[in-house]
Structure 1
Amino acid sequence: MEVTMQKMTSVIYLANASSPHVRHWIEFLDEMNMPYHIYSIHKNTFFSDDKVTVKYNFLTRFGGGGAILAYFFLGLWLRFFTRKSILHAHNTSGYGLSALLSGKPYIVTTYGTEIFGADKRSSLYRLLINKVLSKAKKITTTSQQMEQVLVSKFHINSKNILTFGMGVSQHFSFSNDKREKVRAKLDIPSDALVWIYNRRIMPLYNTIEVVQAFKKYSKDRPNTYLILMAGDHQASYTQLVKNELENSSNIFLVEGFLDPKDMSAYLSASDISISVPNSDQLSSSILEAIACGCYPILANLPAYDEILEYVTCLSIDRSNLVRGFEQSANQVLEQNSQLRSQLLEQYKATPWSRETVIALLNQVYAQ
């Protein structure tokens, strides 16, 4: 069944054109036949050139200060050179600044770290976040915890907040054929236990700590493997991760951006997924893994409580990652394929179906 917007209005996305998160949103807009264009200070990885305009990317070579200037100039450019459209900024501190400076009505999709960690940043940073949020026409979040923080700490009217998870791409589903092909490609035995960390390699996600814990766990367990997905990684931190991987034949690092079909193949090849960041919202990466039948290890973050209500998960303290590997292995070995089947059925009953998400997106973009 074809799904369309209630009112055909063009959306201007202010977003990282190399972000899987943004790609996921755009997939829904395509399904809804919603016209859009992306303005980005980041290079375009996923979209056709006619859908993306990259502005001031050269400034990002100068680090954080250069990126701030790029966001600033993008906002001024939007003020003078764009027609009336719906502006949708994907993050508050960067593209939210561009939206604020544009002088046009805008929507903001908040990211977990910039909001949850705002009280640890400078007073200027907090002032910027406050200003962007207070001027937004609507705000979208993916967790009740985020909504509570926006209301209690930033004094945002709850009527302006829409909270919902984005579900997953239709390409994410378990495939035994893909499972066998990926395992053969990596030379992983069919009866081996495989963990996958399908979050970006950067300090926020504690990738090094996960690798170190897995090395301790797998030292005397030869039939265990870990797959790391680099994604939109932090280069300097990734090099530290690579240093940790020296002489580790049972840990694989998959670099580059994968399309949903390829990502689904790696998830199908795995038994257990990992998500242990310092802070987070309800991440689509977790849902993608569950949709492919992976048993999730999750940090005991309030943002993940909603997942625990619907899906069998292992909630752990980040300080005891080795124990997390032990417990998850025991659970998978005890239940074998029954656990995967159970997870796939549980996901079908969650509130993150495509029909639900599209109905909520109609609310986001309604005039």
Structure 2
Amino acid sequence: MKILILAPYSSPIVQRLFKALNAYTEHEVWVASFNVETDLKNKIIGLGKLNSFLDYFKINKINKIIKKINPDIVHAHIINHYGLLALLQKKPLLVALWGSDVMVAPNKGSLMKRKFFTLVNGLVAKKANLLHTSSKHILNEMVSKYGSDIQSKINVFYWGFPVEEPNTNDYLVIQSSFLKEYGIHKEDNLVVATRGLADIYAPENMIKIIEELSKNNQLKVVVLRGFANDIEVSNFKEKIQNFSDKVVFINRLLSSNELYVLYSQAKYHISIPTSDALGGGVIEPLLMGSYPILSNIPPYQNFILENSGYIINDYSVESINILCQKIRNEELQVNIDIIKQNYSAQSIVSRFNDLYLMTLR
């Protein structure tokens, strides 16, 4: 089977999907993305620089690529981005719903913006043979907007992949660089804020939590920049001035191998977005034995019914103190066997194989 993935290749989750499909299947897998250089040897196609949202209307460009590659399936990510780009192509279409494309874009901003994204999402959903998401909440939102008929087209399962384990020598090199660059010792027990500093990840509430956790001398707080812009980074630094010496801020994107080393030392991790599907920022550290501290949103409520995790219902002093007390008492422990069984790379690839076959029917 030949598969063309349309997705932002800068995203680690897309890179891991691409690598996992190549590692665990016999499929011929291509990826096309903005902001990436073409590398035909490795089946990567650059679509040029993404200058504005209008670039997602370059439908003729993607149709020419599809005609040349002739895939059996087009797998487009983010319904109103690469899904829009795939709207008029003629191959069987599988669309990945990421979270904010469904929960935020059609629901926030001006009336015209909300109507536009509601229309785009509806058109792409109608065009798609199947859709998939990591969250039942995303499914429910799509049904509420477009009717119950769409429910049969949407498959719900977590589709992120574990971070890649470096070899022993690379592990030690990364560990050494973390010590030199960030003062992270190999013996440190870490609390990692995994999601970045964009507004959707509630940085002000995250700051309230890490300020209290930074008082625990048994833990070292690490905050990842993620895809935050310079203004968001500046605001964050300003708001932690009073305890910045207690926080390690990693002001760049980490490689998959670096994330593996970091998460291997994580005892807890924080993911408190205001809206999201179940993402790698929750599962990836969890697979390494870190306990997730999560916001009170439906995808996470559903997740902890069968998995390890602590929901913080609000960000009052009382709620944060209860969380900190549970951490001091070591009440939050991961059931790692169940996690690895449900979220291994092979099990996720198997789900995609089934989904691709269903898309072709």
Paired residue for 1:34, among 27, 40, 44? Answer: 27
Question: What do residues 109-147 of structure 1 show as CA deviations (whole Å, max 9, x unaligned)?
Answer: 011112123233421221111111111111011122222
Indicate the residue corresponding to 1:25 in structure 2: 17
The amino acid that maps onto 1:335 is E
Using the TM superposition, give the Cα deviation of residue 288 of structure 1 relative to its aligned residue in structure 2, in angstroms: 0.8
Aligned partners of 1:329 and 1:48: how far apart in 2?
Answer: 51
- Equivalent residue number for residue 79 of structure 2: 92
Is 1:157 the counterpart of 2:131 in the alignment? no
Query: Helix, strand or coil: the match of 1:310?
Result: coil
The equivalences for 1:55-66 within 5 A come to 55-57=47-49, 59-60=50-51, 66=52
Question: Is residue 2:234 matched to residue 1:242?
Answer: no
Closer, same or farther: CA 363–140 of 1 in aligned 2, 3 Å: same
**Cα distance between partner residues in 2 of 1:164 and 1:127:** 25
Which residue is equivalent to 1:256?
A: 252
Question: Counterparts of 2:88 and 2:80 in 1: how far apart (Å)?
Answer: 12
Q: TM-score, normalised by structure 1?
A: 0.82
| Alpha carbons 1:77, 1:102 under 8 Å: kept | no
State the alpha-carbon separation in 2 of the partners of residues 77 and 333 from structure 1: 56
Compared CA separation, residues 324 and 347, structure 1 to 2 (3 A): farther
Q: Against the structure 1 CA distance between its residues 49 and 266, is the aligned structure 2 distance closer, same or farther, given a 3 Å change threshold? A: farther
Q: Is the 8 A contact 1:18 1:232 kept in 2?
A: no
Equivalent runs, 1:100-249 vs 2, <5 Å = 100-117=87-104, 118-120=106-108, 121-155=113-147, 156-169=149-162, 171=164, 184-185=179-180, 186-187=182-183, 194-215=190-211, 217=212, 221=216, 224-246=219-241, 248-249=244-245
CA contact under 8 A between 1:310 and 1:347: conserved in structure 2?
Answer: no
- Taking structure 1 as reference, are residues 92 and 187 closer, same or farther at Cα in structure 2, changes over 3 Å only? same
Q: Assess if the C-alpha contact under 8 Å between 1:87 and 1:105 holds in 2.
A: yes
1:303-325 CA-to-partner distances (Å, cap 9, x unmatched) read 113321232321012433x5555
Distance 2:141 2:304 in 1: 20
Give the total of aligned pairs.
342
Match for 1:291 among 275, 287, 293? 287
Q: Does 1:79 align with 2:72?
A: no
Verify the 8 A CA contact 1:90 1:109 in the aligned structure 2: yes
Distance 1:221 1:333, change over 3 A: closer
Counterparts of 1:100 and 1:294 in 2: how far apart (Å)? 40
Give the Cα–Cα distance (whole angstroms) in 2 for the partners of residues 200 and 97 of structure 1.
26
- Check 1:187–1:77 CA distance in 2 against 1; reply closer, same or farther (3 A cut): closer
Q: Which residue of 1 aligns with 2:264?
A: 268
- The 3-state SS of whatever aligns with 1:37 is strand
What is the TM-score when the length of structure 2 is the normalising length?
A: 0.83
Cα contact 1:41–1:71 (8 A) shared by 2: no
2:349 is the alignment partner of 1:358: yes
Question: 1:24 is paired with a residue of what secondary structure?
Answer: helix
Instruction: Assess, with a 3 A threshold, how the Cα gap between structure 1 residues 183 and 12 changes in structure 2: closer, same or farther.
Output: closer
Residues 258-283 of structure 1: CA deviation (Å, up to 9, x unaligned): 23221021112222100100111111
CA contact (8 A) 1:271 1:332 kept: no
> Shift of the alpha carbon at 1:69?
1.9
Matched letter for residue 195 of structure 1: V
Bigger drift between 272-281 and 101-110 goes to 101-110
Gaps of 5+ in 1: 1-8, 61-65
Identical columns (%) = 21
The 1:154–1:234 alpha-carbon spacing in structure 2 relative to 1, beyond 3 Å, is farther
Question: Which blocks of at least 5 consecutive residues in structure 2 are unaligned?
Answer: none
Q: Which amino acid aligns with 2:96?
A: T
Q: Match of 1:288, as an amino acid? A: E
User: Which of 292, 296, 300 lines up with 1:300 in the alignment?
Assistant: 296
| Alpha-carbon shift at residue 245 of structure 1 (Å) | 4.0
On the 8 A contact 2:162/2:287 being kept in 1, the answer is: no
Partner Cα separation in structure 1 for residue 163 and residue 219 of structure 2? 30
Once residues 318 and 49 of structure 1 are traced to their aligned partners in structure 2, the CA distance between those partners, rounded to angstroms, is 50
SS of 1:280's equivalent in the other structure is coil
> d(CA) in 1 for partners of 2:345 and 2:355?
15
What is the CA-CA distance between 1:212 and the residue it aligns to? Answer: 4.2
CA 50–192 in structure 1, closer or farther in 2 if over 3 Å, else same? closer
